[in-house]
């Protein structure tokens, strides 16, 4: 089976699993996941599963990428901050849906590779940064949306502070074995928190490597 028919089958699976945002589904359909996975797993690029990448990290499961992207309720004019670029797959899915994606990664080797892929795909609205996502990106704040793709022990206040009024953050929170994806909305100085789904992500770590 070709990558393209595998990809179409994956999109049908996501639809059956309850992802019904057509903009999100077509973004998934546009992104060649095979270029984001290591050579040895290339034949499994369109399975709905997480896979290992370099530096002991993972490429997220397509269902989780689709779910989190849909949960962000994106609009074309929005600025989005992503913490945890990894291989860059989630970033590439966000790119066609919004005005600009700012993405931060703490492992230099991963960021270099991801940046090369964004260039190869012509994703000119993606801006990358090597750094510690716990600090956010103060120079571009406030942003409309924040997506964190590593699990934090608690909601980082620094990131909440970089959201615009009415802004939302999607973030997995918790320790090993009891994480869940939260939607955090900033409204009139208050913060509303909504649990969305149990998950398993690699941990969010402080500092940088490489």
Residues marked as catalytic: 60
Rounded CA-CA distance 196/101 in Å is: 23
Q: How far is the CB of 149 from ligand SAH (least distance, A)?
A: 4
- Identify which of 174, 173, 141, 170 has the alpha carbon closest to the alpha carbon of residue 158: 141
What sign has the CA pseudo-torsion 44, 52, 105, 172?
positive
Q: Tell me: cis bond preceding 24? Omega within 30 of 0 counts.
A: no
If the CB atoms of residues 152 and 189 are measured against ligand SAH, the closer one turns out to be 152
Q: How far is the CB of 185 from ligand SAH (least distance, A)?
A: 22
Residue listed under structure tokens 């991963």: 110
If the CB atoms of residues 84 and 167 are measured against ligand SAH, the closer one turns out to be 84
If the CB atoms of residues 166 and 183 are measured against ligand SAH, the closer one turns out to be 183
Residues that bind ligand SAH (CB under 6 A): 57-60, 83-84, 86-87, 89-90, 104-107, 110, 132-134, 149-150, 202, 204-206
Q: How far is the CB of 17 from ligand SAH (least distance, A)?
A: 18
- φ, ψ of residue 123 to 5 degrees: the values are -85, 85
């Amino acid at each position: 089976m070709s990558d393209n028919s595998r990809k179409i089958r994956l999109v049908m699976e996501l639809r059956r699993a309850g992802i019904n945002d057509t903009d999100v589904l077509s973004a998934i359909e546009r992104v060649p996941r095979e270029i984001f996975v290591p050579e040895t797993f290339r034949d499994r690029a369109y399975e709905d599963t997480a896979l290992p990448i370099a530096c002991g990290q993972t490429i997220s499961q397509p269902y989780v990428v689709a779910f989190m992207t849909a949960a962000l309720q994106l609009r074309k004019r929005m600025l989005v901050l992503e913490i945890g670029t990894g291989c860059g797959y989630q970033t590439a899915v966000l790119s066609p849906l919004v005005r600009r994606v700012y993405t931060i990664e703490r492992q230099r080797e991963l960021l270099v590779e991801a940046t090369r892929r964004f260039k190869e795909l012509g994703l000119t609205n993606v801006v990358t940064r090597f750094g510690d996502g716990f600090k956010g990106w103060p120079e571009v704040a406030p942003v409309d949306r924040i997506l964190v793709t590593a699990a934090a022990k608690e909601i980082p206040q620094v990131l909440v502070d970089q959201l615009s009024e009415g802004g939302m953050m999607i973030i997995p929170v918790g320790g090993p074995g009891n994480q869940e994806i939260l939607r955090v909305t900033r409204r009139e100085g208050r913060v509303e928190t909504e649990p969305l789904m149990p998950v398993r992500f690699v941990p969010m770590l402080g500092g940088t490597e490489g």
